[in-house]
Structures are given as C-alpha cells and as structure tokens.
Amino acid sequence: MSLTLTDITLTYPDGENRLTALDQVGLEVPGGSLTAVVGPSGSGKSSLLAVAATLITPEAGTVTIDGTSTTGLTRGELAELRRRKIGIVFQQPNLLPSLTAAEQLQVMARIDGRRPRTVRSRALELLDAVGLAGQADRHPHRLSGGQRQRVNIARALMNDPTVLLIDEPTSALDHERGAAVIGLIARLTHQRATATVLVTHDHTHLTAVDRIAEVHDGRLRLPAPARRNSGP
Ligand code: ADP
Ligand code: MG
C-alpha cells in the first residue's frame, strides 16, 4: 500500500499565460503513515490532492498507487481505481441532508454483491471507529461541525481505500476539536495501513502526524530524515 508522486508539474490557464500550480513535485507515502502537507492559501495544496486523487491529470509526472502507474489509464479505469483504492475527504463535508450518518456511508458501498446487512454493519463499525457509535441514525443538522467532519472521514473509509487524501479537515473547527480530528486521522492511518496525505494551512495540532512537508508556490519541500511513529 503506497502512494508515489513523481516529478509532478501542473499548470492552469491564466490569461495569456499559464500559472504553475505544482512544480516538479515528488512525494512518496508508504502505507500506514500520515504525511501532512502545510502551506499558505494558494500554494498548491488542493491541486496536489486533486492530482494524487487522479481527478486532474498533470502536464508531467506520474502518480503511482500500490506500485501501479496511473498514466495512460482511461477515464473509466481511473474512476474504478478511485472507487476501489482512494478515499477522499474534501474540505466541505457535503453530507446529504436527508440521510442519516449511517446512510451517508451506506450509499458509498460498491454494488458488488455485498448484502445490505453487511454494508450497514460496516457503516456502523466505521462510525464506531470515529467515535460516533451513538449518532448513526442522526441527520447532519443534528450533528456538530466536528461530528460532521468525522462522518466525512468515516465515509471515505467505506470502501477500504489504500490511499486516503484529506483537504483542510480542521478549517471549520476550534483548536481542541481540530487536534482531536488530526489524532483520529493518525490512529485510523496506523490501524488501517492507509497511505494518508493531509493538507492544511494550519501548523497547529500536527503533533500526531508522521511527517510534515511544506509547499510554497507549488514547490514541495520534504523534511530529512522522515520520522515515523512506532505504530498503534
Ligand atoms: P491551496 O489549496 O494551497 O489554497 P490551490 O491548489 O487551490 O492552493 O491553488 C494553487 C494555485 O492555482 C492558486 O494560485 C490558485 O489560484 C490556482 N488555481 C487553483 N485552481 C485553479 C483553476 N481551476 N483554474 C485556474 N487556477 C487555479
Ligand atoms: Mg485548498
């Protein structure tokens, strides 16, 4: 289980010119480890996640997931890869107002012959893992901001991804709840052996992560040497 970005360059159209959002970015994230990518607004963090998630194809460079390059895959193959291997937590939870917490997870399940009962029990197990065992049948309006973010994270784990990509998970939370969410992400990463990337502009409460990389103007700077926590 791993995620590798090799020499990624991504530009966007910008009037007559092009704006370089990612400039020869390289990053290797082994399974079971959590890398935080920190940088100011506009530095390229969301672009990096979108490339890692195979939602945007960069001009140059390679995204490799579990040892397989995604270069040259068709749109359909990429969609299938995302569904099977990649959990994405966007900045906005985008929970459906009409569904309970458990149902938000259940609608993610692959239609591959799994019986509804199995899907339901997996949803409940994941809600339990994020500390929401008692909230499974609540709708989003009856959950706090922190609880909604936990549902968002649990939902991304529904298909047992090998890569977990999380965008600014603490931006709407106070300090204490932000720290708890980062701690939760670290614990889930170690327990479920996901290769996890968490991007944030917020340097605080990053004590639980295994490694912090910095991005400025699309250039990624990795720390040396990488530090790894000693497992769960
Ligand atoms: P961050 O998530 O760190 O705030 P982004 O990856 O969203 O940074 O953006 C990086 C740079 O790319 C910024 O200058 C932003 O304005 C620009 N950008 C992002 N998305 C687009 C887009 N779809 N079209 C044009 N420029 C974009
Ligand atoms: Mg962003």
Query: Would you state the pLDDT for residue 174?
Result: 86
Full-model pTM:
0.92
Ligand 1: distance of its center to the CA of 8 in Å? Answer: 15
What whole-number distance in Å separates Cα of residue 207 and Cα of residue 183? 8
What value does the mean pLDDT take over residues 151-172?
94
Work out the angle at residue 154's Cα, subtended by the Cα atoms of residues 152 and 160, and round it to the nearest 5 degrees. 125
Q: Which of 9, 12, 55 to mutate to test the pocket of ligand 1 (most atoms within 8 A of CB)?
A: 12
How many percent of the chain have pLDDT more than 70? 94
Protein fold of 2-95+161-221: Rossmann fold (3.40.50)
Q: What is the mean pLDDT of the chain?
A: 92
Collapsing DSSP to helix, strand or coil, 180 comes out as helix
User: For atom 12 of ligand 1, which residue has the closest CA?
Assistant: 21
Query: Would you state the pLDDT for residue 110?
Result: 65
Query: Would you state the pLDDT for residue 99?
Result: 97
Query: Would you state the pLDDT for residue 112?
Result: 59
Q: Does 25 have pLDDT greater than 90?
A: yes
Query: Would you state the pLDDT for residue 155?
Result: 96
CB-CB contact of 190 with 32 (8 Å) = yes
Reported in sequence order, the residue ranges of the chain that DSSP labels E, i.e. its strands, are 2-14, 17-30, 33-38, 60-65, 68-69, 86-89, 163-167, 195-200, 211-216, 219-221
First-last CA distance in the chain: 17
Ligand 1: distance of its center to the CA of 44 in Å? Answer: 6
Of all atoms in ligand 1, which is nearest to the CA of residue 46? 2
Q: What is the pLDDT of residues 97-153, one digit of tens each?
A: 999 999 999 998 865 566 777 899 999 999 999 999 999 999 999 999 889 999 999
Q: What is the pLDDT of residues 196-209, one digit of tens each?
A: 999 998 888 898 99
Ligand 2: distance of its center to the CA of 218 in Å? Answer: 12
Q: Which ligand is nearest to the CA of 48?
A: 1
Residue 80: pLDDT band with limits 50, 70, 90: very high
**Residues near ligand 1 with C-beta < 6 Å?**
12, 19, 21, 39, 41-47
User: For atom 13 of ligand 1, which residue has the closest CA?
Assistant: 42
Q: Does 227 have pLDDT greater than 90?
A: no
User: For atom 7 of ligand 1, which residue has the closest CA?
Assistant: 46
The partner residues of 199 in beta bridges, in order of sequence, read: 37, 167
